[in-house]
A and B are shown apart, each in its own frame.
Chain A
Amino acid sequence: MSIIEFKNVTKRFGSVTILDGVDLAVEPGEKIVLIGPSGSGKSTLLRCINGLEKIQGGDLIVDGRSITEGGSNIRLIRQEAGMVFQQFNLFPQMTALENVAFGPRRVRGSSLAEARDQANELLARVGLAERASHYPSELSGGQQQRVAIARALAVRPKVMLFDEPTSALDPELRHEVLQVMQSLAEEGMTMIVVTHEIGFARQVGTRLIFMENGHISVDGNPQEMLANTDNPRLRDFLRHVVP
């Protein structure tokens, strides 16, 4: 059974249609890389999955639940679909450890000791065991983003959604974040990643989706699509993002 299923999903902001009848099924274990021109609706598609944006038409099923059924249902979906943002969005008043322990404490209701142990473990996993007591302002962008990944993982989601996780980072800090994402992929996590990192798409992606104007226009195997595509606009797009 698909873990995420878009059924003819329409998303509008006012009278402007952003997602126009999107159909998409994501199977467990897939690593989908989502690319497309600015404004094509990549972020919006991702944000619909965890209900940060409401959809106006169609249906969207995540882990067997429809996001149109509001309230506590949405919260359960969000616990299964972790989100990592371009701007990290760490809680500035909390240390790295507190950021990571926050979800288990306040969402899952874990005990303090249990949440801290798990947070320490996760921070070690993203290579930041030594930085547990640092505040976000005391961390580099790459470190902040790794903490943000650990924070999302702490709620034990089944899917991870990444919205341009390395776009706000200096080039030399990107690989440390991409490495964490790659090892997460190798552990079998289902992932949807919006990114311009074509290398990541090639090495880690199991599926590449090219979006244009609120549509999925190409959907296929990353190696094949990157090697040769018969879609002229994708070819044009790739020429611009691949250095």
Chain B
Amino acid sequence: MQFDWSVILEALPQLLKGAQLTLTIAVIGLGIGFLIGCVAGLMRAYGNSIISLVAFAYIELIRGTPIIVQVMFIYFALPLVADIRIDPVTAAITSITINSGAYTAEIVRGALLSIHPGLREAGLSLGLPAWKVLTYVTGPLAFRRMIPALGNQFIISLKDTSVFIVIGVGELTRQGQEVMATNFRAVEIWSAVAILYFIMTTVLASVLRGIEKRMRIL
């Protein structure tokens, strides 16, 4: 068979539109997910037994179920059980947020616990409140250690957005599927879709690597 470049050129605007939505969902979801992950990770690392248990329940519930089931629940079941009706894109962003938040929480907890407790004690011993020790001493050290694992999680979440095809979100995979349905050029279209995902994940990973290099922490 012939690889026809013009097919890709023709489909590119629609695919790029999909890629843009994929990126939007991923960036917003990961951004909020990171904040949730930090809070839940702190609860796990430093909270008393009840606080820690709450975070633990959230993390285990999310990690123990597939993301496709989570988004189905949010989009189809939530309107029935709680009368909460949201559009597909909001459901998608919510799914990525709570999903990546749970995985990030474990990354945050692990990084915080890997910091030598003596550094925290040294900070406290100067008379600093615990939150300042976290902000200026242990937090930055832990963050640097988190970066490789965060990069991994960001890539996974970005690719996870492809499951939102099931609730009709017009992200990249969905756009590829639609173009395919009209011209039947599977090789060209799925190659193009794969390359677009690859570019996005590579850029995301190298941004994080850049941050890691710029943070002069040992």
Q: Which residues of A pack against B, CB within 8 Å?
A: 50, 52, 75-79, 82-83, 85, 87, 89-93, 102-103, 106-107, 135, 137, 148, 151-152, 155
Q: Which of A92, A93, A107 sits near B126, CB closer than 8 Å?
A: A107
B13 CB within 8 Å of chain A? no
A135 and B218 contacting across the interface, CB-CB below 8 Å: yes
> Which residues of chain A have C-beta atoms less than 8 A from B123's C-beta?
91
Q: Which residues of B pack against A, CB within 8 Å?
A: 116, 118-119, 121-129, 132, 136-137, 140-141, 144, 215-218
Q: Look across to chain A and name the residue whose beta carbon is closest to the beta carbon of B119.
A: A89
B124 and A78 contacting across the interface, CB-CB below 8 Å: yes
Complex Cα distance, B136 from A102, in Å, reads 9
Main secondary structure of the interface of B (DSSP, over half): helix
B121 and A103 contacting across the interface, CB-CB below 8 Å: no
Q: In this complex, which of B127, B137, B140, B141 has the most chain A Cβ atoms within 10 angstroms of its Cβ?
A: B127
> Which residues of chain B have C-beta atoms less than 8 A from A50's C-beta?
125
Complex Cα distance, B127 from A77, in Å, reads 7
Indicate whether A106 sits within 8 Å of B121 (C-beta atoms), given known contacts A76-B127, A92-B217, A93-B216: no
| B118 shortest CB reach to chain A, Å | 4
| A192 shortest CB reach to chain B, Å | 14
- 27 A-B contacts (beta carbon < 8 Å): A50-B125, A52-B121, A52-B125, A75-B129, A79-B126, A82-B126, A85-B121, A87-B116, A89-B116, A91-B119, A91-B123, A92-B217, A93-B140, A93-B141, A93-B217, A102-B136, A103-B126, A103-B127, A106-B126, A106-B132, A107-B126, A107-B127, A135-B218, A137-B218, A151-B126, A152-B125, A155-B126
> Which residues of chain A have C-beta atoms less than 8 A from B216's C-beta?
93
A52 and B124 contacting across the interface, CB-CB below 8 Å: yes
Indicate whether A89 sits within 8 Å of B121 (C-beta atoms), given known contacts A103-B126, A106-B132, A155-B127: yes
> Which residues of chain B have C-beta atoms less than 8 A from A155's C-beta?
126-127
A75 and B128 contacting across the interface, CB-CB below 8 Å: yes
B125 and A82 contacting across the interface, CB-CB below 8 Å: yes
B127 and A83 contacting across the interface, CB-CB below 8 Å: no
Q: Look across to chain A and name the residue whose beta carbon is closest to the beta carbon of B118.
A: A89
A93 and B218 contacting across the interface, CB-CB below 8 Å: yes
Complex Cα distance, B116 from A119, in Å, reads 25
| B130 shortest CB reach to chain A, Å | 10
> Which residues of chain B have C-beta atoms less than 8 A from A152's C-beta?
125-126
A92 and B141 contacting across the interface, CB-CB below 8 Å: yes
B127 and A92 contacting across the interface, CB-CB below 8 Å: no
> Which residues of chain B have C-beta atoms less than 8 A from A52's C-beta?
121, 124-125
> Which residues of chain A have C-beta atoms less than 8 A from B127's C-beta?
75-79, 103, 107, 155
B218 and A92 contacting across the interface, CB-CB below 8 Å: yes
| B133 shortest CB reach to chain A, Å | 9
Complex Cα distance, B119 from A148, in Å, reads 12
> Which residues of chain B have C-beta atoms less than 8 A from A90's C-beta?
122
Given A82-B126, A103-B128, 9 other A-B residues pairs in contact with their CB atoms under 8 A = A52-B121, A75-B127, A78-B125, A85-B122, A102-B126, A135-B218, A151-B126, A152-B126, A155-B126
> Which residues of chain B have C-beta atoms less than 8 A from A87's C-beta?
116, 118
> Which residues of chain B have C-beta atoms less than 8 A from A107's C-beta?
126-128
Complex Cα distance, B132 from A79, in Å, reads 15
Complex Cα distance, B122 from A83, in Å, reads 8
> Which residues of chain A have C-beta atoms less than 8 A from B144's C-beta?
93
Complex Cα distance, B124 from A79, in Å, reads 10
Complex Cα distance, B144 from A135, in Å, reads 17
> Which residues of chain A have C-beta atoms less than 8 A from B128's C-beta?
75, 103, 106-107
Indicate whether A85 sits within 8 Å of B118 (C-beta atoms), given known contacts A92-B218, A93-B140: yes
Complex Cα distance, B126 from A152, in Å, reads 7
B137 and A91 contacting across the interface, CB-CB below 8 Å: yes
